[in-house]
């Protein structure tokens, strides 16, 4: 039998007979590795240890120390073990698919009776019984006819349909966990006992159409989470508990910020308190953009389809666009328009007005652009995922040799904005050229090199997202981490050589000839709506004082103090502080509880002692203690806190 050479991660090479398995290689390296190994990598492909290796390969063994691979397999095996448990408990249930998702997995089932909370506990118990059996996980490759007949014989119609959808030349891998079988690409662990029995939990049940099509059967989807150990599971469950307390929809009601209703799906009704946050954030961004050399523009909401066809959006994005048909006077056919889903083609129209010189570049153009995109109703989520939103959109028109400098300037701008809003650090993901793209390799080389160089000069080593760039150019994605450790992708910065070409944008170069500008698409917050939701959840409603919609409530302890309450409110308002009086005939503890629930940052309590001494008792949100302070000192201190950070 011919020999093959395996190259290990440290560069060492080992020679083995062709057909050796990953498990056999692990055993040859060391007894301890053989015991701890659960999967391997062959030329970058994640595989079961039982699969044969037939050619020279780069080879690596994975153990529980390899977080990404360990979690993938734990969660994948949990999906299969859960499906086995369900069918052992209810043999008439039909199984479909069970992929790994962030933090866990789900599996869709066809069952007449709905799963209950008690059922989830029963399934968890059965899963632990299966894990404790430590039964082997084995795999075989079957031909299509054999696999289809197997599932027909076992009355599993969804599996038959899945096989019909698989390309004819793709191998069909059949996995057994003990005596329970599933169709799967793998890989999987070596036996059920490798799944930690105390590190998973079934979370919820939801409805899901088969293959996401509303014309198909409605299935039941069970979600689970799984980790490497019980401490990680406990930390995750605590995070979810904290996230529920911070849910922007819950806090939005308590703070009276906004509401949404069926008559306007995916659209937001902003209440006065919420609109103060919105306009305060917008005013801040406008000042920051002014300081950084942006010109602000505004473009139409409804644009003829001809422009969307010319830009390429009609072909690639039409299903997400709201179409408007108008009977134009004297026209033979209806005029077809669309509510704009993005602002970029309109910004090129402004750039194209008048002759531009190389001396005019870079031109930094910004718009608080109201956009509308059709999102499926099932994808809508509070103000985080909506159909109508406003972007802090910007486009920088520049020369090729200005890409790196403009990128560096933008990263510093973005860093300052995020810091002012309470996010001290962020991560950057770098997405390079996809397989299908416009532009030459030479142009892509320049764009990618410029983005990477500027990011590294800013002291940031980006995480690579291979092949995830837009078809027109590479991009940077800026990811914030909130107060409870969740990541939110907010800002983007993309290089575009294509749209200026499509929409015939040009400038006169130093050589007197016409040249195409490069277009840098950038957004810092993303959409105001989503970013406000992130702010609310990260700060648990306790927004920075300057951005809080209700900054101070001055509350009377006794009725005789009411006149002084109004005097204090007037003094605060005169310094630009949003203050209001609460002189209701209620106990002070009741008032404090109510305004604390509404996340008012400062409550000033006033009784007769404060009236006589011209002081106020100050209670800060989240603190039980109060302090008695001189009125003038309090007004001065709060006025400073009410000043946006860019104006200090």
Residue 86 CA to residue 392 CA, distance in Å, equals: 48
- What residues have CB less than 8 Å from 599, skipping those under 6 apart? 251, 254, 255, 541, 542, 543, 548, 550, 621
> What percent of the chain has pLDDT above 70?
99
Report H helices in 598-630: 608-613
Q: How many CA within 13 A on the CB side of residue 415?
A: 13
Is omega for the bond preceding 362 within 30 degrees of 0, making it cis? yes
Pairing of strands 514-515, 518-527: unpaired
Predicted pLDDT at 454:
87
With cut-offs at 50, 70 and 90, classify the pLDDT of residue 376: confident
446-490 confidence digits (pLDDT tens): 889 888 988 998 888 999 998 888 877 899 999 999 888 889 999
Answer whether residue 403 shows pLDDT above 80.
yes
Question: What was the pLDDT predicted at 485?
Answer: 87
Element (H, E) at 539: none
State the pLDDT confidence band at 185, using cuts at 50, 70 and 90: confident
What's the whole-number mean pLDDT along residues 14-42? 93
Which residues, 6 or more positions from 127, have their beta carbon under 8 angstroms from its beta carbon? 78, 81, 82, 85, 200
Q: Out of 206-220, 244-258, 508-522, which region has the weakest mean confidence (pLDDT)?
A: 206-220
pLDDT value at residue 67: 87
Q: What is the mean pLDDT of the chain?
A: 93
Do 552-647 and 3-63 have the same topology in CATH? no
- The model's confidence at residue 66, banded by pLDDT at 50, 70 and 90, is confident
pLDDT band for position 1 (50/70/90)?
low
Whether residue 413 has pLDDT greater than 70: yes
Question: What sign has the CA pseudo-torsion 603, 606, 609, 615?
Answer: positive
Per-residue pLDDT, 434: 87
What is the number of alpha carbons within 13 Å of residue 105 lying toward its C-beta?
A: 23
Give the pLDDT of residue 169: 75
pLDDT tens per residue, range 343-375: 999 999 999 999 999 999 999 999 999 999 999
Task: Spell out the CATH class of 3-63.
Answer: alpha beta
Segment 491-541, tens digit of pLDDT? 999 999 889 999 999 999 999 999 999 999 999 999 999 999 999 999 999
What is the mean pLDDT of the segment spanning 260-286? Answer: 97
Report percent pLDDT > 90 for the chain.
82
Phi and psi at residue 46, to the nearest 5°? -75, 125
* Domain 68-243 part of CATH 3.30.980.10: yes
Specify burial of residue 261 (Cβ count, 10 A radius: 0-12, 13-18, 19+). exposed
User: Which sequence positions are flagged as catalytic?
Assistant: 344, 373, 391, 393, 395, 475, 521
How much is the pTM? 0.85
* pLDDT, tens digit (0-9, with 9 covering 90-100), for 98-135: 999 999 999 999 999 999 999 999 999 999 999 999 99
Candidates 337, 346, 339; CA nearest to 387 is: 339
Domain boundaries in the chain?
3-63, 68-243, 259-301+340-538, 552-647
- Answer whether the bond into residue 187 is a cis peptide, omega within 30°: yes
Question: Would you say residue 329 has pLDDT above 70?
Answer: no
Round to whole Å and give the CA distance between 329 and 354.
30
Displacement of CA 285 from its chain's centroid (Å): 22
Segment 626-640, tens digit of pLDDT: 999 999 999 999 999
Residue 53: pLDDT over 90: yes
* The CATH classification of domain 259-301+340-538, taken from the options 1.10.3720.10, 3.30.930.10, 3.30.342.10, 1.20.1330.10: 3.30.930.10
Which CATH superfamily does the domain covering 552-647 fall into? Answer: Anticodon-binding domain (3.40.50.800)
């Amino acid at each position: 039998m011919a020999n093959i050479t395996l190259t290990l991660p440290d560069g060492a090479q080992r020679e083995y007979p062709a057909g050796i398995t990953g498990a056999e290689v692990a055993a040859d390296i060391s007894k301890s590795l053989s015991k701890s190994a659960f999967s391997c990598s062959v030329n970058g492909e994640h595989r079961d240890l039982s699969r044969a290796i037939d050619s020279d390969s780069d080879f690596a063994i994975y153990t529980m120390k390899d977080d990404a691979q360990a979690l993938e397999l734990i969660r994948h095996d949990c999906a299969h073990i859960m499906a086995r448990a369900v069918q052992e408990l209810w043999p008439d249930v039909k199984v479909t698919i069970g992929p790994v998702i962030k933090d866990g997995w789900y599996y869709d089932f066809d069952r007449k009776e709905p799963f209950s909370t008690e059922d989830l506990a029963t399934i968890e118990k059965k899963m632990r019984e299966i894990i404790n059996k430590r039964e082997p996980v084995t795999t075989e490759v079957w031909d299509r006819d054999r696999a289809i007949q197997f599932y027909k014989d076992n009355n599993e119609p969804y599996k038959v349909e899945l096989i019909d959808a698989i390309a004819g030349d793709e191998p069909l891998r059949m996995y057994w966990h003990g005596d329970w079988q599933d169709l799967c690409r793998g890989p999987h662990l070596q036996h059920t006992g490798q799944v930690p029995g105390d590190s998973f939990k079934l979370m919820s049940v939801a409805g899901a159409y088969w293959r996401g099509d509303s014309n198909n059967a409605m299935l039941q989807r069970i979600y689970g989470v799984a980790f490497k150990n019980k401490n990680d599971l406990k930390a995750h469950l605590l995070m979810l508990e904290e996230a529920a307390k911070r849910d922007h929809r819950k806090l939005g009601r308590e703070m009276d910020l906004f509401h949404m209703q069926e008559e306007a799906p995916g659209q937001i009704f902003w209440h006065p308190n919420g609109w103060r946050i919105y306009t305060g954030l917008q005013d801040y961004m406008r000042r920051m953009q002014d300081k950084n050399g942006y010109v602000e523009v505004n473009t139409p909401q409804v644009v003829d389809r001809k422009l969307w066809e010319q830009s390429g959006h009609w072909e690639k994005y039409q299903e997400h666009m709201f179409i408007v048909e108008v009977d134009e006077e004297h026209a033979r056919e209806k005029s077809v328009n669309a509510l704009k889903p993005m602002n970029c083609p309109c910004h090129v129209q402004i750039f194209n007005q008048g002759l531009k010189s190389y001396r005019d570049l870079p031109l930094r153009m910004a718009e608080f652009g109201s956009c509308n995109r059709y999102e499926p109703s099932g994808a809508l989520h509070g103000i985080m995922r909506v159909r109508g939103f406003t972007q802090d959109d910007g486009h920088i028109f520049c020369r090729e040799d200005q890409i790196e400098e403009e990128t560096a300037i933008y990263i510093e701008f973005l860093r300052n904005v995020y810091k002012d809003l309470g996010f001290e650090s962020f991560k950057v993901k770098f997405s390079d050229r996809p397989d299908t793209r416009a532009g030459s390799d030479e142009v892509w080389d320049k764009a990618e090199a410029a983005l990477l160089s500027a990011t590294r000069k800013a002291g940031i080593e980006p995480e690579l997202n291979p092949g995830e760039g837009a078809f027109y150019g590479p991009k940077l994605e800026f990811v914030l981490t909130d107060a409870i450790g969740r990541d939110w992708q907010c800002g983007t910065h993309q290089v575009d050589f294509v749209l200026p070409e499509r929409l015939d944008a040009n400038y006169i170069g130093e050589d007197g000839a016409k040249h195409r500008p490069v277009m840098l698409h950038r957004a810092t917050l993303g959409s105001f709506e989503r970013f406000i939701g992130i702010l609310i959840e990260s700060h648990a409603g306790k927004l920075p004082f300057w951005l809080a919609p209700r900054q101070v409530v001055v509350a009377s302890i006794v009725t005789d103090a009411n006149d002084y309450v109004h005097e204090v409110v007037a003094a605060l308002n005169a310094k630009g502080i949003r203050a209001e009086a609460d002189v209701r005939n209620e106990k002070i503890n009741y008032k404090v509880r109510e305004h604390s629930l509404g996340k008012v940052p400062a409550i000033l309590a006033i009784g007769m002692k404060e009236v006589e001494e011209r002081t106020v008792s100050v209670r800060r949100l989240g603190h039980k203690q109060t302090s008695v302070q001189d009125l003038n000192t309090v007004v001065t201190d709060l006025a400073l806190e009410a000043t946006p950070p860019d104006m200090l």
